[in-house]
Amino acid sequence: MPRRTARRLVNAGVDLAGHAFLFRDAVASTTGNGTTVDALPFLMVGSETARVEIRGGWRGQTLSSAGLNERRGVLESGIRAGYGGTVRAEADARWVRADGVMYPFAGGTLSVSGSAVQAWAQAGRWLSPQLDEVSWSGGLGVAIGRQSTLWASTRQEAPDPLYWNVARRSWSVGVTRRLGRAAALLQPQAPRGGGVVVIELAAADAPGADISIAGDFNRWEPVAMQRAGDTWTVRLTLAPGVYSYAFRSGDGRWFVPASVAGRRSDGMGGYVARLIVE
């Protein structure tokens, strides 16, 4: 349930996830099956560059193997705070209650997001006498075209109060593909062969005065826009290509209003817009 203005962003909802799986234990020569379910309501308050999110809910699993059936559930709550745009830092705190015992967790994430490359690193630790394992992960993603990303990551997993898995390390390589058509591109487009592109922004969607624009086309160095009535305008001479860009307010905040065609998530809690010049 989103509510957006030029200065504020409030989101409330619920993260739902469910998995079903089959397995075979080669050592014990047994087979089994299981399910996992997560239901975590959340409330996020913030701007395009800074946000605070609180959440709390239930996670559970069922497991059947060798004639034994097991069901477990935990209550989880947490708070997460983040700041930044291209470079973003986040702090995360969680509390998991399982079998009458509280297990706190603290961690942080640092990420860098460019137009074609994203990198991230994460580390955290359980802070309980019964569970004090460290977990960490890191990865790199490279855009392939407009809707695909090639990524690789490595992860050190700590035991979880729901599963009580053994500590383990894993490596992953994959391709993520966005389904459906690409987001609408900014209109109007420049003529074929490049040329002058006029980008407009409604003053009602701009936080304050002194609005500028920056993107791949100028190495993300802000260029001042001109106010004409109820619209901020800039004229750019661009060569053919596909560009990502965003607007910047006078106090240094980066933003892309929902009214801008071609807006998409930058994957780090903010937004960029996509422009194509033929």
Which domains, and CATH codes, for the chain?
3-177 (2.40.160), 195-277 (2.60.40.10)
Indicate if the pLDDT at residue 83 is higher than 80.
yes
Q: What is the largest CA-CA distance in the chain?
A: 75
What does pLDDT average to over the chain? Answer: 86
Express each pLDDT in 216-227 by its tens digit.
888 888 999 998
Indicate if the pLDDT at residue 183 is higher than 80.
no
d(CA 73, CA 241): 51
68-72, 118-122, 192-196, 199-203: which has the minimum mean pLDDT? 192-196
- pLDDT value of position 70: 93
Q: Specify the higher pLDDT residue, 196 or 6.
A: 196
User: Residue 218: helix, strand or coil by DSSP?
Assistant: helix
Indicate if the pLDDT at residue 186 is higher than 50.
no
Between strands 195-202 and 263-265, the pairing is unpaired
Q: How far apart, in Å, are the Cα atoms of 254 and each of 49, 208, 220?
A: 7, 12, 11
- Do the beta carbons of residue 171 and residue 145 sit within 8 Å? no
Express each pLDDT in 20-64 by its tens digit.
999 998 888 889 999 999 999 999 988 767 889 999 999 999 999
List of E strands, the chain: 3-4, 9-25, 30-46, 50-65, 68-84, 87-98, 101-113, 117-126, 134-144, 148-157, 168-177, 195-202, 212-215, 223-224, 226-228, 231-238, 241-248, 254-255, 263-265, 271-277
Burial of 120 from C-beta contacts in 10 A (0-12 / 13-18 / 19+)? buried
Q: Specify the higher pLDDT residue, 24 or 7.
A: 24
Q: Specify the higher pLDDT residue, 154 or 145.
A: 154
- Do the beta carbons of residue 63 and residue 69 sit within 8 Å? yes
Q: Specify the higher pLDDT residue, 268 or 243.
A: 243
Indicate if the pLDDT at residue 6 is higher than 50.
no
- pLDDT value of position 216: 87
Query: For residue 243, what are the β-bridge partners?
Result: 275
The angle subtended at Cα 50 by Cα 178 and Cα 263, nearest 5°, is: 35
Does residue 41 have a cis peptide bond before it, meaning omega lies within 30 degrees of 0?
A: no
User: Residue 204: helix, strand or coil by DSSP?
Assistant: helix
Q: What percent of the chain has pLDDT over 70?
A: 88
- pLDDT value of position 194: 55
Between strands 223-224 and 212-215, the pairing is antiparallel
Q: Considering only CA atoms, which of 21, 15, 42, 17 is closest in space to residue 33? A: 21
| Radius of gyration in angstroms for the set of CA atoms belonging to the chain, rounded to a whole number | 23
Indicate if the pLDDT at residue 79 is higher than 60.
yes
Q: What percent of the chain has pLDDT over 90?
A: 47
